[in-house]
């Protein structure tokens, strides 16, 4: 039914786990309650989600590596009656009283908070079911691939798109938690008809180990648009490359089942309506209507002539240089085409006199210098888009879900 690394859990074993939950005082009755779950073992996270779903309870998912004090704070902020930490038997009651059945049961998560403070998102189990049905219809997998999930199952991408959608299709997902990309590559190669779920960072790490010509079956990316250089690389290594776009409030919004460019986010799922800009030069905030709710994503994008959604930038990431807009992704694409560049992130800097300016942190070969990067940009960008400051670094700061955090870079610079 589910494999974690090399350990397989069949249906009878999962039922035994659920029976064990029934024998635990804090899990014997979950209907109408909201409990937080913070477990490093994905089989605990998945089995608890399925258990709460079956018994009309609500679950708050917290990344398994979150320190206990921080997890308690998040659970309290989400009005949870208790926290399961590390192991289902380790329960921390929060000694709070809540009326039962005030809210419909479902799944709760905090948004990633990459551009601001994280906020609590609640989605009912019915909404989740609608997403799973629409997602599987859009995926249109006629070759019955085996999902291989590199992303965390405490996040909607790994849990809903990866694990739960596979179970709905009758597929047996493989979840990889091993930190060694070489281990992941080995398991992927042992799974001939694989559908690998990963964020760009993980896909880069795994394919970066390949030293001989190899053809992967299917890769699917989410969490952030594929960098153009990685897109070109993966297109040449896979029989099929997919990309999906979503947000915490709506789950998966669109899916590209035949990706045409690195920023191609595909077509909306059948239960979702999207509004965006009408032209690359006129992007607008992507607005999503799902389950009768209008969600403003704070992402900028436009609808291509083909009807697919194209991502441009986070609205909060746009840099205002003397009244002129600079989209960081555009500058990153330019820099990534320079030979020797491994990774780059462009973000907002601030000057006490001239205001906002463009800055770049670059991971590259030793032969690449800040001067070389700036000279390269001047050949392909107008001067106001060229980074005023280029810093050569060994790594780029990211969130726990593997997303690049421009906000962290801005905060670091402001603290200097």
Cα separation, 76 vs 81, in Å, equals 8
CATH 3.40.50.800 fits 2-110, yes or no: no
CATH 3.30.499.10 fits 126-316, yes or no: no
The segment(s) of the chain belonging to CATH 3.30.300.30 are 318-415
CATH number, domain 318-415, options 2.40.110.10, 1.10.357.10, 3.20.20.70, 3.30.300.30: 3.30.300.30
pTM: 0.85
| 175 in Cβ contact with 42 (< 8 Å) | yes
Q: In what order do the strands lie in the sheet with 341-351?
A: 341-351, 355-364, 389-392
For 298-367, the three-class secondary structure string (H helix, E strand, C coil) is EEEEEECCCCCEEEEEEHHHCEEECCEEECHHHHHHHHHCCCCEEEEEEEEEEECCCEEEEEEEEEECCC
Cα separation, 384 vs 391, in Å, equals 18
Quick one: CA dihedral 343, 400, 409, 415, positive or negative?
A: negative
CA angle 367, 369, 375 (to 5 degrees): 120
pLDDT tens sequence for the chain (416 residues): 899 999 999 999 999 999 999 999 999 999 989 999 999 999 999 999 999 999 999 999 999 988 999 999 999 999 999 999 999 999 999 966 554 545 689 999 987 654 445 789 999 999 999 999 999 999 987 778 999 999 999 999 999 999 999 999 999 999 999 888 999 999 999 998 999 999 988 998 999 898 888 899 999 999 888 988 889 999 999 999 999 999 888 999 999 988 999 999 999 999 999 999 999 888 999 999 998 899 999 999 999 999 999 999 888 889 999 888 999 989 999 999 999 999 999 999 988 877 899 999 999 999 999 999 999 999 999 999 999 999 999 988 877 667 777 888 888 777 66
The segment(s) of the chain belonging to CATH 3.40.50.980 are 2-110
Cα separation, 108 vs 117, in Å, equals 16
The segment(s) of the chain belonging to CATH 3.40.50.12780 are 126-316
């Amino acid at each position: 039914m589910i494999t974690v690394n090399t350990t397989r859990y069949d249906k009878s074993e999962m039922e035994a786990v659920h029976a064990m939950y029934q024998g635990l005082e804090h899990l014997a009755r979950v209907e109408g309650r909201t409990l937080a779950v913070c477990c490093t073992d994905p089989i605990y996270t998945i089995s608890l989600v399925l258990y709460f779903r079956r018994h009309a309870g609500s679950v708050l998912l917290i990344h398994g590596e979150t320190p206990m004090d921080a997890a308690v704070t998040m659970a309290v902020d989400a009005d949870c009656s208790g926290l399961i930490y590390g192991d289902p038997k380790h329960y921390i009651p929060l000694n709070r009283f809540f009326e039962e059945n005030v809210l419909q049961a479902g799944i709760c998560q905090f948004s990633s908070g990459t551009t601001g403070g994280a906020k609590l998102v609640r989605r009912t189990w019915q909404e989740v079911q609608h997403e799973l049905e629409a997602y599987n219809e859009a995926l249109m997998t006629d070759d019955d691939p085996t999902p291989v999930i590199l992303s965390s199952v405490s996040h909607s991408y790994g849990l809903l798109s990866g694990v739960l959608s596979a179970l709905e299709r009758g597929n047996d997902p493989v979840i990889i938690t091993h930190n060694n990309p070489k281990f992941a590559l080995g398991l992927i190669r042992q799974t001939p008809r694989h559908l690998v779920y990963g964020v760009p960072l993980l896909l880069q790490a795994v394919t970066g180990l390949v030293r001989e010509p190899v053809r992967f079956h299917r890769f699917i990316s989410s969490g952030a648009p594929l960098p153009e250089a990685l897109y070109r690389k993966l297109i040449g290594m896979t029989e099929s490359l997919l990309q999906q776009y979503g947000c915490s409030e709506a789950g998966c919004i669109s899916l590209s089942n035949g990706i045409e460019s690195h920023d191609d986010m595909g077509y909306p799922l059948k239960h979702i309506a999207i509004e965006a800009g009408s032209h690359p030069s006129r992007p607008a905030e992507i607005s999503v209507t799902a389950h009768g709710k209008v969600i403003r994503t704070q992402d900028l994008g436009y609808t291509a002539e083909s009807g697919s959604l194209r991502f441009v930038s986070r609205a909060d990431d746009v840099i205002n240089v003397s009244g002129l807009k600079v989209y960081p992704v555009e500058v990153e694409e330019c820099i990534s085409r320079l030979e020797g560049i491994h990774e780059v992130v462009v973000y907002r800097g601030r000057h006490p006199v001239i205001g906002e300016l463009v800055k770049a942190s670059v991971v590259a070969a030793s032969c690449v210098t800040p001067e070389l990067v700036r000279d390269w940009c001047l050949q392909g960008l107008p001067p106001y888009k060229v980074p005023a400051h280029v810093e050569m670094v060994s790594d780029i700061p990211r969130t726990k879900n593997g997303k690049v955090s421009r906000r962290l870079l801005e905060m670091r610079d402001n603290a200097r």
